[in-house]
Amino acid sequence: MAESASVASCYRQVGDHWECVTPGAFCPAAAHGLYGYSESGGRYQCVQDGSYWRWKPAGSSSGQSSQPSPKPTPKATPTPKPTTKPARAKCSRAYLPLPDPRCQPGTRNPAVTQATIGTTICRAGFAAKVRPVASYLSALRVRQIAEYGYPDRRPARYEEDHVIPLLLGGSPKSVKNLWPEPVWKVRGRSAADKNAVERRLWRAVCAGDVPLARAQKAIAKDWRTAVRQAGL
């Protein structure tokens, strides 16, 4: 594969976001065979290492370049290589921007029914009252990012999303209703687009235009078509 161009001596990883490579770290499929640079200026290539691909010094026995890697500056601290291989993904990313329905089919909050919407979801502050604490969501997000096998493991790149939102009576803490949704656009859709759908369905349910169960079923199946499936 041809050598990739670089900006600020770093490797272009996702969209217009430029990142320096981490020596010894696993690299994504999009980077296979490409070159990049570490923060210290070292030149690396994404090469195959057994069953995995890692960033290794360009010109090493596993690389394809004969150019030597510049030595890091004295202040640079090399990042240690992982001592264990990453676990195989349990959930598929093939459904993005939707979750894997086998992992997160969406579950309901039993306290929210058509008869109780007036005192639950349609009352101001209900969603904030039942939302799990940040520490619970943060820990679950880290675990589920690994379960989905995302190449980018930075938590800030994901939003722990309720498949059936709290505004529509989704279960607040069930792992079958929570998943790490990418914050960037996937196949032209983003987390912000889903949030807009959630609010529209919530207004319709509280106005009596759409039954709660129909809205829950529609958004759990596919939020992209939920408004139409709900009859709006």
135 vs 158: CA distance, rounded Å: 15
Six-digit token pair at 134? 């940040």
pLDDT given for residue 46 in this prediction? 83
Q: Is the dihedral of CA 188, 194, 200, 201 positive or negative?
A: positive
Six-digit token pair at 213? 């169960």
Are the beta carbons of 179 and 144 closer than 8 angstroms? yes
Strand (E) or helix (H) holding 160? strand 158-162
HSE of 220, CA atoms in CB hemisphere, 13 A: 23
pLDDT given for residue 60 in this prediction? 60
pLDDT given for residue 51 in this prediction? 73
- Token pair 């979801």 is at which residue? 121
User: What are φ and ψ of residue 156, in 5° steps?
Assistant: -65, -15
One pLDDT digit (tens) per residue for the chain, 232 residues: 333 333 334 554 444 444 677 787 777 777 777 777 776 777 888 888 777 778 788 776 444 433 444 455 555 555 545 444 445 679 999 999 999 999 999 999 999 999 999 999 999 999 999 999 999 999 999 999 999 999 999 999 999 999 999 999 999 999 999 999 999 889 888 888 999 999 999 999 999 999 999 999 999 999 999 999 999 8
